[in-house]
């Protein structure tokens, strides 16, 4: 977590320490349709890795809740693009259950983890290419 102090997770309200993994959601607002646009200061809220993992495995919020809908999709896309958040949630779950937590600094585990991440990232394209707009070869006549 990039903050200097601990902050609560917005879902479970547990304190997320600075050395724990979490997702920071940056919130700011600005006016539109006004000559001099007003901007609010940016603020951040945090979702711990366990809650982020649980959120995206749950039901999608309805479109009538646009802020929840947008945040859900942003977190889902982040978790889908990199297994590190899911792995972190698994480690936190083992720690909370009092089970031994494998150290990712162990060379064999670190090497296996890196190979897994590389195989996952190479299996899927990171983003779709930009669409190509083709103009028709000739103008069509109306009918």
* Domain-embedded: residue 67: yes
Lowest mean pLDDT among 15-19, 61-65, 129-133: 129-133
* Domain-embedded: residue 139: no
pLDDT greater at residue 123 or residue 46: 46
Residue 60 and residue 66: Cα distance in Å, rounded? Answer: 11
Residue whose entry in the numeric block shows the structure tokens 């600005």: 30
* Domain-embedded: residue 82: yes
Helix/strand/coil for 15:
strand
Residue 85 and residue 75: Cα distance in Å, rounded? Answer: 10
Section 11-28 average pLDDT = 87
Position 54 confidence tier, pLDDT thresholds 50, 70, 90: confident
For the chain, the domain total comes to 1
pLDDT greater at residue 79 or residue 121: 79
**Crossing angle between the packed helical segments 66-81 and 84-96, to the nearest 10 degrees:** 100
* Domain-embedded: residue 80: yes
* Domain-embedded: residue 75: yes
Residue 1 and residue 63: Cα distance in Å, rounded? Answer: 29
Domain that holds residue 62: 7-29+41-118
> How many C-beta atoms lie closer than 10 Å to residue 2's C-beta?
8
Question: Which pLDDT tens digit goes with each residue over 91-128?
Answer: 888 888 888 877 766 677 667 777 777 776 666 665 65
pTM over 0.85: no
**What was the pLDDT predicted at 8?**
92
Residue 67 and residue 10: Cα distance in Å, rounded? Answer: 14
pLDDT at 51 over 60: yes
* Domain-embedded: residue 96: yes
Q: What is the mean pLDDT of the chain?
A: 80
**What was the pLDDT predicted at 95?**
84
* Domain-embedded: residue 136: no
């Amino acid at each position: 977590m990039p903050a200097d102090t601990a902050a609560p997770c917005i879902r479970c309200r547990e304190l997320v320490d600075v050395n724990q993994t979490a997702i920071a959601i940056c919130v700011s607002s600005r006016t539109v349709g006004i000559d001099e646009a007003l901007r609010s200061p940016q603020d951040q809220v945090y979702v711990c890795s366990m809650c982020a993992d649980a959120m995206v495995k749950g039901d999608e919020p309805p479109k009538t809740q646009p802020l929840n809908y947008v945040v859900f999709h942003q977190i889902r896309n982040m978790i889908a693009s990199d297994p590190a958040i899911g792995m972190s949630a698994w480690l936190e779950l083992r720690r909370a259950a009092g089970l031994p937590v494998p150290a990712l600094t162990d060379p064999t585990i670190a090497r296996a983890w890196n190979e897994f991440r590389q195989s996952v990232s190479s299996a899927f394209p990171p983003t779709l290419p930009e669409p190509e707009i083709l103009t028709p070869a000739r103008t069509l006549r109306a009918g």
